[in-house]
Amino acid sequence: MNKDMVLLRAVEMAAIASYKYIGKKDKNALDGAAVEAMKVMLGKNIGIKLRVVNGEGELDNAPMFYYGQILGDVDNPHAPTLDMSVDPVEGTNPAAYNFAGSIATIAVSREGTMKQFPEMYMEKLFISPSLAGMVDFQEPLPKIVKGLQKKLQKKTLKAIILDKPRHEKIVKELDNLGVIVRLIKDGDVLGAIDVVNGEADFVYGVGGAPEAVLMASLAIASGAEMSARLVPYQEVWLDESETKERQDLEEKWLAKQTNLQWTTLMMAPDLVNDPRTRFFAAGITAGGTLKPIDYLNGKFYINTFMASHGIVRNLTTTYDVSQINNLKPEVKYLFDKYHR
């Protein structure tokens, strides 16, 4: 089976399985449904093995894909192995409470080419493919913006920023520069998809480090650019009860890394060292250019997105439950279990 279709169907079925729990305020049930759907779709006889490099769920005890887990044709010595970063529901809170900001997403690359990160924070700047080559990522964001405004001879750049207290200062600075800012509650991977689709010029924020690998895959696959720096937990949560413990864990992890410090600027190829990396996503509650999943008259309608080799595809997929049930037993199992 074509591996792109396998991976695309996996994110689609994760969206379909999670549909049952949208708005039900149960993040773990929603995430569990999406995880099971992906595991079922990425089972045997898909022609590849998938090694999880970045999964999800370690901090909040959610159902999870864990580092080093092997999926796919695990018993087939001839099946090639790919690295995989995966988030069955990127944005569990938006999905659980039914507001914009959640997708199912997977990125793959050649074995040994993806960087693994624990649940840490990272400052990320993701630049549109149309602006590739115009940015010195060593500069602070306001200076980057001024440089782009000068080169493009326009002030009204469009930015997507995570709506967090830690970003209030930069939002004010961008506003003073004339940048049109769209604030999002969650989902900087979804924001990066919007940037690739021309909805904005860049997305910026301090968010999860594992998600940076997904964004790096998207950047490489679409012709965009991005930079990233690790951010200590105490800079985001100074007075939380777990800050000292998290700080100690982060320092121990960082001490084991080669050529990586808090100040290290990483570009997309530092996170995913494979120009043939592939990125896949399906809308759950989505938002922007990627629309939410819908169900009507026995059919699921899903907005999906994929990028590879500089080719970007935005697709609308229809699953007719009655027809699929007759063809795919694993899909019938998921439809029966997670029918809303």
Phi, psi at residue 307, to the nearest 5°? Answer: -145, 140
Phi, psi at residue 255, to the nearest 5°? Answer: -65, -25
What residue numbers does the annotated binding site for Mn(2+) cover?
A: 31, 56, 87, 90, 211
Phi, psi at residue 111, to the nearest 5°? Answer: -55, 135
Q: Is the dihedral of CA 49, 290, 99, 182 positive or negative?
A: positive
Residue 180 gets which letter from DSSP? E
What residue numbers does the annotated binding site for substrate cover?
A: 90-92, 121, 164-166, 186-188, 208
Residue 23 gets which letter from DSSP? T
Strand, helix or coil for residue 97: helix
Q: Calculate helix-pair angle for 141-152, 168-176, nearest 10 degrees.
A: 20
The span from the CA of 312 to the CA of 245, in Å, is: 42
> For the purposes of burial, counting CB atoms within 10 Å of the CB of 227, is it exposed (0-12), middle (13-18) or buried (19 or more)?
buried
The pair of structure tokens assigned to 15 is 């969206």
The span from the CA of 58 to the CA of 81, in Å, is: 24
The pair of structure tokens assigned to 173 is 């600075």
The pair of structure tokens assigned to 191 is 């924001």
Q: What angle do CA 189, 306, 85 make, to 5 degrees?
A: 55
First CA to last CA distance, the chain = 30
What residue numbers does the annotated binding site cover?
A: 31, 56, 87, 90-92, 121, 164-166, 186-188, 208, 211
Strand, helix or coil for residue 105: strand
